[in-house]
Amino acid sequence: MKNYFTRYDNYLSTIANIQSHLSSKGYLRTHIPLVDKQSNYNFLENSLSKNHNSGNETLREQYVVLMDKENKVIRFDSTVSLAQLLRKHNTVLPFKAQYANTVLHKRGPFNETWQLGAEHFYSALTDADKAFPEMLEILCESINILGIQDFFIHIGYVPLVHSLFERNNDIIADQSKIYAYIRNRSFDALYRHYGFNEKGISIQAFHHLFKIVDKNTINEWYATLNQSEIPNYYHAHNSLDWHTIEKKYFDPIRSLFSTRLGFRLRLDLSEVPETSFHYGTLFSAYAILGTHADRPICIARGGNYIFDYDDISTSANPSHLETLKIPTDKGSKKNSKENSQKDNKKPTIPTTIAGMGFTLYPDPLLELTHDH
Amino acid sequence: MTTRNLSIAVGKGRLESPILDYFAAKQLHFDKTKRNLTLICKNYNIRMLFVKNSDLSQYVHNGIVDLGIAGSDTIHESEYHFVLLGEFPFGKTKICLIAKQHTSPIESVPVTSIASKYTRITRDFVQRRQLNAEIIPLQGSVELAPRLGLAPYIIDLVDTGDTIKANNLVIQEEIGSTSVQLIANQASYKLHYRDIDKLVELLQL
Q: What is the pLDDT of residue B185?
A: 96
In the predicted model, residues of chain B with pLDDT beneath 70 are: 1-4, 33-35
pLDDT band with cut points at 50, 70 and 90 for residue A331: very low
With a cut of 60, say whether residue A1 has pLDDT above it: no
Q: What is the pLDDT of residue B154?
A: 97
Is-contact B189 A185, C-beta < 8 A? yes
- Please report, in angstroms and rounded to a whole number, the separation of the first and last CA atoms in chain A: 13
- What amino acid occupies position A162? H
With a cut of 60, say whether residue A110 has pLDDT above it: no
> Which candidate from B66, B81, B190 shows the least CB-CB separation from A183?
B81
pLDDT band with cut points at 50, 70 and 90 for residue A168: low
C-alpha–C-alpha distance, residues B151 and B83, integer Å: 35
With a cut of 80, say whether residue A56 has pLDDT above it: no
With a cut of 70, say whether residue A70 has pLDDT above it: yes
With a cut of 80, say whether residue A191 has pLDDT above it: yes
User: How close A59 comes to chain B (CA, Å)?
Assistant: 14
- Expressed in percent and rounded to 5, the helix, strand and coil fractions of chain A are 45, 20, 35
Predicted confidence (pLDDT) per residue in A130-147, tens digit: 888 889 999 999 999 988
With a cut of 50, say whether residue A314 has pLDDT above it: no
Express as a percent the part of chain A with pLDDT over 70. Answer: 75
Q: What is the pLDDT of residue B25?
A: 95
> Which candidate from A109, A189, A286 shows the least CB-CB separation from B190?
A286
Q: CB A295 to CB B62 under 8 A? A: yes
**Alpha-carbon separation of residue A209 from A165, A206, A220, B95 (angstroms):** 13, 5, 12, 34
- Please report, in angstroms and rounded to a whole number, the separation of the first and last CA atoms in chain B: 24
Global confidence as pTM: 0.82
Q: CB B85 to CB A185 under 8 A? A: yes
Of B81, B71, B82, B106, the closest CA to residue B181 belongs to B71
Is-contact B179 B88, C-beta < 8 A? yes
Mode of pairing for the β-strands spanning A64-65 and A72-74: antiparallel
> Which candidate from B1, B124, B186 shows the least CB-CB separation from A298?
B186
* Reported ipTM: 0.81
